[in-house]
Every structure is written in structure tokens, then in C-alpha cells.
Amino acid sequence: MSSLPEVVVRVLGPVDVIGAARPFRRAWCLELVVYLALHPTGASAGAWTTALWPDQLPPAATRFSTASEARRALGCASDGSDLLPRGVGRLRLAASVTTDWVRFQALAAAHGAGAAEARASALELVRGPLLAGSRSVDWAVLEGLHAEMERSIVQLAIDVADHRLARGDGRGAELAIRRGLLVSPYDERLYRLLFLAADLQGNPAGVESAMGDLVRLVSGETAQQPHASEGSPVDPADWVHPETMAAYRSLSRRPRPSAPAGRRQRVG
């Protein structure tokens, strides 16, 4: 039987560690703990050093001191053993060190009675962009882990929002959608659901606000009233997917201007 969690490494937002014996005074020590926490079977010295320093491997003394300081910062388990045991050529965290990603996966997979509440609780673990503040995230991208986490969170946000919309809970759907947008702000599927959530709440301004946020994001405009370089207002149809535009038009109460000939539309 595995030990109960004593330390939680949080990666679904700004990176931090809950339950460590003391703060991580050296940035690379935290990076090492994050890497090992997301590799529960452990990692060879070559693997974790290459992940942390992909451009140029540091001297052996630096690698040794990084592991030693990470061990001291994590501290000991309740039985007195190191949470980062010493190893020859390979490091592996104790079983009582876990991540919010592991917790997310368990809650997202819930079935039966209480599943809706568990899945909503999984989304509450998402606090911001994945691995935010980390110095070294290339390994997570190259290994496909970053994409896997993003895909899982967005899909759960969509599923929870659909469930809540079907039950007339526009506010609950909006909250779920916004968790997904924290990790995937360009995903237009989430915006289409956000339009529906705002409309269900009787909030036409919310529909307009959501479209405005999306257009500013994809067009790079930052002004409250974005304008194209030639001075004419930015038209959402020039920037968003046709499906998104259709969803917006079906709910928007704003008068529609006649479309100029030759308008370009975003593809994909």
C-alpha cells in the first residue's frame, strides 16, 4: 500500500511545494523536485540534468549540490526517512510526495455517485498557466506532458460546462470554462461555451465581453476599443473561426454591419 501524501508539488499553475520542510532557496532545487515529481518512477542523473540544463550540463559539483539542497528543503517523511532518498546514478522521490496533477487525474476519472462534484473539484486545482514560473519547461513540452495536461484540463472544462449548461447553471458553466482558459486561452471551443453561459445567465454584455476578449487576444490588440491599423473597427469575423462567429451571431444582440466584399476569414 502506498503512503498517504505528505508533500504536494503543485504544477497546475504557479509552481510550488506544499509541505516541504523549508523554502527552496536555490531555484534549480525546486526545478529538480518538480521534474522528479512528474516522473514518479524516478530518473537517471543524465535524464534530470539534461532536462534542467539542456544547453550545457553543469559541473558534477553543481549537480550534487542541487540534489543535496533539494533533499534538505523537502525534509523527511513521518517515519524519518528522506523524502528525496539518496541514490547512485538515479533519483526517485518517496511515495508520499505527490502532485496536484495526480490528484486532478484521480478526480477527473470519477464515476457514479458524486462524480460531478469530484470532476468539478478537479478543475478547482487549476490555478493558472501550467508550470508557471518554472525556469525549465522544455522537457515537459518535448515529452508531451504539457500537451497532455492541457488537453485533459480543457476537455474536463468542456464536459463540466456542458453538464452544467444542460441543467441551466450558466454561472457554474462559466466558472468551469474559465478554468480551462487559464491553461488554453486560445481555445475557441471554450469561448463558444462562454457565450452560451453568459446568455443563459441573461447577460448579453457577457457575450460581447467574451468576444471582445477573444478578438483582442488573437489580433494582438490591447486597447479597450481595438481598431485596425487603418482606423476602422476590428471585425471579429476577420479573426475568429467561422464556428465561433456563428455561435456569437446567434446570441449577440448587437446590430450587424454589412460585410465588405473580400473579407478574409480565419481557417482552422
The 10s digit of each residue's pLDDT in 16-36 is 999 999 999 887 999 999 999
The residues near 111 (Cβ < 8 Å, ≥ 6 apart) are none
268 pLDDT above the threshold of 50: no
Domain annotation covers residue 160? no
- DSSP single-letter state for residue 186: T
9 - beta bridge partners?
A: 17, 99
Q: What is the pLDDT of residues 135-192, one digit of tens each?
A: 888 999 999 999 999 999 999 999 999 999 999 999 999 999 999 999 999 999 999 9
**247 in the same domain as 130:** no
Mean pLDDT value across residues 71-84: 95
Q: How many structural domains comprise the chain?
A: 2
The reply to whether 99 and 202 lie within a common domain is no
Instruction: Please give the backbone phi and psi of residue 18, each rounded to the nearest 5 degrees, phi first.
Output: -100, 125
Would residue 159 count as lying in a domain? no
The answer, yes or no, to whether residue 255 has pLDDT greater than 80, is no
Per-residue model confidence (pLDDT) at position 224: 47
Does residue 64 have a pLDDT over 50?
Answer: yes
pLDDT for residue 209 is more than 90: yes
Q: How confident is the model at residue 234 (pLDDT cuts 50, 70, 90)?
A: low
Kindly state whether residues 131 and 227 are assigned to the same domain.
no
95-106 pLDDT tens trace: 999 999 999 999
Residue 162 lies in a domain: no
143 and 221 together in one domain: no
Residue 116 within a domain: yes
Question: What is the rounded average pLDDT for all residues in the chain?
Answer: 89
Verify that 191 and 142 share a domain, yes or no.
no
Examine residue 89 and state whether it is found in any structural domain, yes or no: no
pLDDT of residue 113: 86
Note whether 146 and 218 are same-domain residues.
Answer: no
Question: From its phi and psi, is residue 267 left (phi > 0), alpha (psi between -120 and 50) or beta?
Answer: beta
Residues 55 and 103 occupy one common structural domain: yes
pLDDT at 222 over 70: no
Is 168 part of any domain?
no
Band (pLDDT 50/70/90 cuts) for residue 254 is low
How far apart CA 179 and CA 43 sit, in angstroms, is: 31
* Amino acid identity at 22: R
Claim to verify: residue 222 and residue 108 sit in the same structural domain: no
User: What's the pLDDT score for residue 183?
Assistant: 97
User: Quick one: DSSP state of residue 98?
Assistant: E
Same domain, 248 and 134: no
Residues 191 and 245 in one domain: yes
Residues 31 and 137 in one domain: yes
Does residue 179 lie in a domain region? Answer: no
Does any domain span residue 24? yes
Quick check: helix, strand or coil at residue 85?
coil
Average pLDDT of the residues in 54-82: 93
Give residue 256's pLDDT. 56
Q: How far apart are CA 118 and CA 114, in angstroms?
A: 6
Question: What pLDDT is attached to residue 155?
Answer: 98
Q: Which domain holds residue 251?
A: 186-268
